[in-house]
Amino acid sequence: MEYFMGLRAPALGAGAGRNYTDFNYVSNLVTLLFQTNGNSYEHVWPDMEFGWRIVLGSLIGFFGAAFGSVGGVGGGGIYVPMLTLIVGFDAKSSTAISKCMIMGAAASTVYYNLKLRHPTLDMPIIDYDLALLIQPMLMLGISLGVIFNVIFPDWLVTVLLIVLFIGTSTKAFLKGVETWNKETILLKESAKRAESKVDDVEYRALPSEPGESASNNAKELLDPEVPILENVCWKEFGLLMFVWLAFLVLQVTKNYTSTCSTWYWVLNLLQIPVSLGVSGYEAVSLYQGRRTISSKAEGTNWKVNQLVLYCMMGVVAGIVGGLLGLGGGFIMGPLFLELGIPPQVSSATATFAMTFSSSMSVVEYYLLKRFPIPYAVYFIAVATVAAWAGQHVVRKLIHHMGRASLIIFILAFTIFVSAISLGGVGISNMVLKIQNHEYMGFEDLCKYDV
């Protein structure tokens, strides 16, 4: 192929000629990886027929959705390799169907969580103020991620994925160990109180703050489940729906413009004031003390650089989600835990925000004609059932064991498995393309043909 055809080496010594050849090979490899004038994408959609592929894929998807929904990460790191290696979709179509599955699992999980209260405070298990700060920026990041999904070569996506996921899974695991140790201390204290009959109140797991007693500042909730409408904060929910509808209108309208035309970029840029407006409103309210993220701590003095950092992390989570077909929870989950948010609330809030972002990704990928509808509907159903089952089983385990740190370990495990599976598939494809001298450069967005 012409990508590896080097210039004729000049008549130099043997050592110099060998060095020149080595340099020429590296130069041509760099040229191959960073070309921008090619277009190698052709979707591969297998026929939908009953067989071992769809059965095995359904089983893996079921367990991926169950674990992903509990950890608040969506499970996309398991869906994408399954759809690529087992069912037989191409990588980018797998990314799109993965988003469909994340949407189904997230919707099921949110419905389940809307009946639950905070483990230690008298409030919903979903922290609406935290969602309002992050979700608009997450939506903006999703739009950027979908564009990058078209442009970026697979090798670059693989490198970013491995670095990001190994780091976040390690951080989450260490947080899980820390929480487990604190829960062990609380359980021993609770057992001593029970033996001395000083306190006969049933132990409740998960302190709202590190080192804080589970019963401190906590309200004993007699009814673990309440009507759904009682757990909806309508003002915050209305603002989140406004962001979603605004993005939906912009995306549908953009579909009727030519790619890279003036109106195409105008409609893309209009997403910025929508996101900044809503997240900025919440950030200013937190800074001035008019609103508070109750799950973190009452009376928290927010700094400007903190609020900007969290908003930017929302954008990063969205970019990762749109680019890789994953849930933004891979970033939001560890971030919320670092903020001191209890694991149950972290998982529920991340999943709540992902419901909006993943559904918008599905709309964008549908407009790009990235997935076959029958397959998408089937796997959405699988993920929906699996997510509800996973939530139900893990909630029973937490209640029985008194250890909410199980959620953190599931989060770390899911991220780590995703890093291994997606990273392994990506490296394998990258090596194969290099051996076959296939195009590995950046795609041209303006020449993309759906």
Distance CA 355, CA 74 (A): 10
Q: Give the residue with greater pLDDT, 386 vs 399.
A: 386
- Kindly indicate the confidence band of residue 203, based on its pLDDT and cuts at 50, 70 and 90: very low
- For 32, the token pair is 């191959």
User: Phi, psi at residue 225, to the nearest 5°?
Assistant: -120, 140
The per-residue pLDDT for range 217-231, each reduced to its tens digit, is 434 433 456 777 777
pTM confidence score: 0.68
Distance CA 328, CA 141 (A): 9
- pLDDT for 448 beyond 80: no
Give the DSSP letter of residue 291.
Answer: S
Helix (H, G, I), strand (E, B) or coil at 157: helix
Task: Go through the chain and tell me how many residues it has.
Answer: 450
The per-residue pLDDT for range 316-325, each reduced to its tens digit, is 888 877 776 5
The per-residue pLDDT for range 242-287, each reduced to its tens digit, is 989 998 888 888 878 887 888 888 988 999 999 999 999 988 888 8
- What pLDDT does 159 receive? 79
The per-residue pLDDT for range 342-363, each reduced to its tens digit, is 878 888 888 888 888 788 778 8
Distance CA 53, CA 89 (A): 11
- Kindly indicate the confidence band of residue 216, based on its pLDDT and cuts at 50, 70 and 90: very low
- pLDDT for 27 beyond 70: no
- What pLDDT does 327 receive? 60
Contact 405, 67 (CB under 8 A): no
User: Phi, psi at residue 117, to the nearest 5°?
Assistant: -105, 165
* Closest to 348 in 3D by CA, of 394, 289, 299: 394
Tell me which range, 252-266, 289-303, 357-371, is most confidently predicted by mean pLDDT. Answer: 252-266
Report the chain's mean pLDDT, rounded to a whole number.
75
Q: Which residues contact 308 (CB under 8 A, 6 or more apart)?
A: 283
Q: How far is CA 336 from CA 134, 173, 194, 278, in A?
A: 10, 14, 33, 20
- Alpha carbons within 13 angstroms on the beta-carbon side of residue 167 total 8
Q: Which residues contact 174 (CB under 8 A, 6 or more apart)?
A: none
Give percent of the chain above pLDDT 70. Answer: 78
Distance CA 149, CA 151 (A): 6
- pLDDT for 39 beyond 70: no
Q: Which residues contact 91 (CB under 8 A, 6 or more apart)?
A: 80, 84, 154, 425, 429
Q: Give the residue with greater pLDDT, 3 vs 448.
A: 448
Q: Give the residue with greater pLDDT, 370 vs 249.
A: 249
- pLDDT for 366 beyond 80: yes
- What pLDDT does 428 receive? 78
Q: Which residues contact 400 (CB under 8 A, 6 or more apart)?
A: none
Distance CA 96, CA 30 (A): 29
The per-residue pLDDT for range 40-50, each reduced to its tens digit, is 556 678 777 78
Rounded mean pLDDT of 314-334? 74
- pLDDT for 426 beyond 80: no
- What pLDDT does 378 receive? 92
- Alpha carbons within 13 angstroms on the beta-carbon side of residue 374 total 6
- What pLDDT does 382 receive? 92
Residue listed under structure tokens 């109140």: 201
Q: Which residues contact 13 (CB under 8 A, 6 or more apart)?
A: none
